[in-house]
Structure 1
Amino acid sequence: MLENIAYIVAAVFCEIYLILMIRGLFSSRSQGHQFSHLKNLDSAIASYSKLIQKNPRDTKSYLARSSAYIQQERLTEALSDCDMVTLLESDNPYAFLNRGAIYGLQNEHEKCIDETTRCLELKPDTLDALINRAHTYARLGNIDAALSDFARIIELAPRNPDHYFERGNCFLNLHKYPEAIADYTHALKQRDKTWEYYYRWDCHQKRGIAHTKLGHLKQAREDFDLALKHCLFHEAIRLDPHDLDNYILRGNLYYYAEQYQNALRDFLQIQKQTTLTPDQQTILGFCYLKLGEVQQAKAIFRQALESNVYNADIDQNPGDPGNYLDRGILRFELQEYQSAIDDFNHALKLGEKSEELLAARGSAYLKLGKYDLAKQDYETALSRAPECPTTYICLAWMLATCPEPQYRNGPRALELAHRNLELLPEINWNSLSVVAAASAESGDFEGAIKWITQAMKLAQNEDKTDCEKQLHYYERNQAYTDLDP
């Protein structure tokens, strides 16, 4: 994602820079200015070339022509013009500025940083140089340096929503979720119609991801719903139903918004025309899982794991805890509980701050019968994130159904299960089944039957079988014991 953003920003920067250069260095009567303003770049280049023929030392025309070349992706010619400016004026900051943009587009990131830094030495606080360097730092994974540049950028241009959005992306990449949310919120408060049209959906999506990591599922759902409302993918797909990128982006959004049937439809549409990437394959598997197609989901997870879906990312960036968390969740779903715990432990050591991690590790411990460790993880997660519904449902299930009687606590399980319902953005069958189990453990079998009956109405496919199994116990006035927690 950062690579795509950086490329787009570099391209936009070149366009903005061309306009600024022309505005500052040429009169409104200049033919080159007029042609550039009208986006007639061939005519603009021809006009600047005539000026250069008349005066081979005209650095302003070289710079303007270089910017036009950049927009046409004629990067070798653009670089040649920048080099000529440096020969004529060794301390011209704009030559380094343009050259930095060219190197950025060529993925020569270190050179891009060197050039933009030299521009800033000659002309401190050049906003475009700071922007270009910040994005390049981000692409290289030097997030602290990127944040430093973005802090100065925001001081210089506090009303530009894009700067807050991009700094929020850096915070998200560093797993600093509250800081990311603050920047995304600030970006959304700005009133920039062009930015809102193209990027508001993505800002809501990213803020939703940060909320999810903190366990704020209601706020996350609101953001994902708004992202779907403001995104352009529905219209783009209507206009060009063969552009798979729009299905991918919309499918991801549907998945985040828990519209699993819609997400499944988009990814199956992609699969008709091309092979899904391992990441897309994994999302497809989770769609099936959420829709109750457990065996279908596990088959996809197994295939994804065998294709080393996360191993390559881990090898490339071993310091990113998110890859270990994601692989651990996949291993958990495949009942590889100890391997999942190993991944969760590694993610913790690397500083993963997602509130789902402790709950996930606790659930793996529960599956292995390590009830003390499971309860410890659940209680710790609950104290750290009292607004995260995931922990409530996990701990409530353990207290209501654990095979070891000393860990059962019906009244507390019932309290936790009801709190989970309050925190959820939307009631699901699983949460209702936990209330049923807690009711039964508390001796309220009539209530248990009521809750599990409601759960059955929402459950699909294989999940209905689980509900029917519980109902059989409650009808005989027996609490449910999960022999395979």
Structure 2
Amino acid sequence: MKVKQVLLSLLFTVLILPSQTFAQRSAAEYFEEGNTKARASDFAGALQAYSVVVSINPEHAPSYFNRGLAKANLKDHRGAILDYDRAIEINPKEALYYQSRGVSKSMQDDYRAAIQDYTRAIELSPEDAKSYYNRGVSYAKLENHRSAMADLDKSLTLDPGDVAALYARGNCKQRLHEYAGSLADFTKVIEMSPKRAGAYAGRGNAKIELNDFAGAAADFTKAIELSPNESSYYDKRGFAKNKIEDFQGAISDYDKTLQLEPENYEAYYGRGFSKTKLNDQRGAVVDLTKAIEIKNLYVSDPKKIVYEGKITKSVLDELRNQVKEHVKIDDLTTERSEAYYIRGVSKSKSGDSKGALIDISTAVELNPTYADAYFSRGLIKSSIGEQMGAVLDFSSSIKLKSNFPEAYYIRGIIKHSLGQVNEGCLDLSRAGELGYMPSYKVISTYCN
């Protein structure tokens, strides 16, 4: 989700606190010099001036704070945090100090720590809309969209004209599949800021989900006018055109997408579909082959799989082997799929992986809704190195039984081991939510 990440709009003209009486007149002069340079965007000069002040008066919190802001504007967020730490140590009751430290932590992708700072800022200044906005954005970055929505709602209650908060909430609503509400938020953004390409794109996405494909194409056209080099806008407009059967127009959009982003496999897929509709079957096959092969882990040679995450092959094997299958007796149906399944599990436990796969695959063929069979087959595939096939089997078991914590757990550790760290950690989180407690030990070790 493309959400504007916040707040270096806390400019010095707003932030600067009144200077206190210094032991020496020169310290006050240096402080004002720092303020003047900061307002003129001479942040390096401001930083030097504030450094002189704190060398004279080491307990002057505003100078540490303003120096932190100068560092943040120079992209030195680690240094800024150290100055904010000192300002907070001297004066722990100033909400703006926590808010600004949260911003610098957010800029380093440390969203959990940033949320703690925004929460403290809210406790000290509960009517400050910007802290709710910042915390909402950080929650969204952590995929906690319900909490993000609550904060963005509060931010907009306090400041209804905040375009950034409306835009963020529109994105958040899309992640929660609240497309009508998302459309309304992006429409307001467009009314208030009509040159914002992302708002037209966001509204176009909402219209696609609401089956208004002609409206979506119109919005993406406007987004393209404002931002003509954004490949995703052409891709989405191509999709909308396919839906309204403007196949030639869709091909033109996908051509432009691939000109800007040659590895966009979704564009090859869309263009291949368009070509099938225009009876260019050879061209369609070429494009669809590209769609299948580009960046697709699931068509790679299992022998060439690289374990890219912190969870190595040996760790994966150890974690997977700790999971216990819940094999239970079911009524035997006419197709005897249950017997194939149990025989397959038995063969697997006796070391006959090949025979086990044949039996469990037969069980799945006879009963395509057999969630436990997919799960067991995934375990076997993973144990013999077929990680991509294992992920597909665990995904199938989850589709059939959404409250299957072990399936989320195993899929999570496999994805993590293959370098899909964020997706893997989200699966582990879901497994924990469903009651599989070993997930939290893995999360604490490999997801932080």
What TM-score bracket applies, with the shorter chain setting the length? 0.5 to 0.7
Secondary structure class of the residue paired with 1:9: coil
Cα distance between partner residues in 2 of 1:276 and 1:66: 41
Q: Conserved in 1, the CA contact under 8 Å of 2:251 and 2:271?
A: no
In the other structure, the counterpart of 1:377 is none
Structure 2 residue 259 is the aligned partner of structure 1 residue 269: yes
In the other structure, the counterpart of 2:67 is 65
Q: 1:139 aligns with which of 141, 148, 151?
A: 141
Q: Conserved in 2, the CA contact under 8 Å of 1:270 and 1:276?
A: no
Cα distance between partner residues in 2 of 1:165 and 1:310: 34
1:40-68 Cα offsets, whole Å, 9 max, x none, are: 21112122222222321111111111112
Cα distance between partner residues in 1 of 2:400 and 2:18: 53
Cα distance between partner residues in 2 of 1:74 and 1:164: 29
1:218-277 Cα offsets, whole Å, 9 max, x none, are: 322332232233x133xxxxxxxxxxxx35245335525634344233234246xxx514
Cα distance between partner residues in 1 of 2:149 and 2:33: 40
Matched to 2:9, the amino acid is E
Bigger drift between 175-184 and 302-311 goes to: 302-311
Q: 1:296 aligns with which of 283, 292, 300?
A: 283
Cα distance between partner residues in 1 of 2:166 and 2:174: 12
Cα distance between partner residues in 1 of 2:151 and 2:45: 36
In the other structure, the counterpart of 2:217 is 221
Q: Relative to 1, partners in 2 of residues 1:176 and 1:79: Cα closer, same or farther, differing over 3 Å?
A: same
Cα distance between partner residues in 2 of 1:299 and 1:347: 33
Cα distance between partner residues in 2 of 1:82 and 1:115: 11
Cα distance between partner residues in 1 of 2:279 and 2:183: 32
Cα distance between partner residues in 2 of 1:183 and 1:294: 42
| Percent identity between the two aligned chains | 22
Matched to 1:196, the amino acid is P
Structure 2 residue 193 is the aligned partner of structure 1 residue 232: no
Q: Relative to 1, partners in 2 of residues 1:15 and 1:283: Cα closer, same or farther, differing over 3 Å?
A: farther
Q: Conserved in 2, the CA contact under 8 Å of 1:48 and 1:65?
A: yes
Consecutive unaligned residues of structure 1, counting only runs of 5 or more, are: 234-245, 313-338, 351-485
In the other structure, the counterpart of 1:15 is 9
1:394-437 Cα offsets, whole Å, 9 max, x none, are: xxxxxxxxxxxxxxxxxxxxxxxxxxxxxxxxxxxxxxxxxxxx
Q: Conserved in 1, the CA contact under 8 Å of 2:201 and 2:233?
A: no
Secondary structure class of the residue paired with 2:135: helix
Deviation for aligned residue 1:135 = 0.5
Structure 2 residue 187 is the aligned partner of structure 1 residue 203: no
Q: Conserved in 2, the CA contact under 8 Å of 1:261 and 1:291?
A: no
Deviation for aligned residue 1:291 = 5.8
1:95-127 Cα offsets, whole Å, 9 max, x none, are: 221221121111111111111111111221322
1:120-173 Cα offsets, whole Å, 9 max, x none, are: 112213222211111011111111101100111111111222222211111111
1:152-207 Cα offsets, whole Å, 9 max, x none, are: 111111122222221111111111111111111222222xxxx433x2x2211111
In the other structure, the counterpart of 1:429 is none
Cα distance between partner residues in 1 of 2:119 and 2:231: 37
Q: Relative to 1, partners in 2 of residues 1:286 and 1:25: Cα closer, same or farther, differing over 3 Å?
A: farther
Cα distance between partner residues in 1 of 2:265 and 2:233: 17
Secondary structure class of the residue paired with 2:93: coil
Structure 2 residue 239 is the aligned partner of structure 1 residue 252: no
In the other structure, the counterpart of 1:109 is 111
More helix by share: 1
In the other structure, the counterpart of 2:446 is none
Consecutive unaligned residues of structure 2, counting only runs of 5 or more, are: 20-27, 242-248, 300-391, 404-448
In the other structure, the counterpart of 1:119 is 121
Q: Relative to 1, partners in 2 of residues 1:78 and 1:177: Cα closer, same or farther, differing over 3 Å?
A: same
Q: Conserved in 1, the CA contact under 8 Å of 2:84 and 2:97?
A: yes
Matched to 2:283, the amino acid is Q
In the other structure, the counterpart of 2:370 is none
Q: Relative to 1, partners in 2 of residues 1:302 and 1:69: Cα closer, same or farther, differing over 3 Å?
A: same
In the other structure, the counterpart of 2:376 is none
Cα distance between partner residues in 1 of 2:401 and 2:295: 21
Secondary structure class of the residue paired with 2:10: helix
Q: Relative to 1, partners in 2 of residues 1:140 and 1:175: Cα closer, same or farther, differing over 3 Å?
A: same
Secondary structure class of the residue paired with 1:14: coil
Secondary structure class of the residue paired with 1:186: helix
Cα distance between partner residues in 1 of 2:214 and 2:401: 25
In the other structure, the counterpart of 2:333 is none
1:341-376 Cα offsets, whole Å, 9 max, x none, are: x98x959989xxxxxxxxxxxxxxxxxxxxxxxxxx
Deviation for aligned residue 1:25 = 4.3
How large is the Cα RMSD of the aligned pairs? 3.4
Matched to 2:121, the amino acid is C
Q: Conserved in 2, the CA contact under 8 Å of 1:264 and 1:284?
A: yes
Cα distance between partner residues in 2 of 1:196 and 1:348: 45
Q: Conserved in 1, the CA contact under 8 Å of 2:54 and 2:63?
A: yes
User: What is the count of residue pairs matched by the alignment?
Assistant: 293
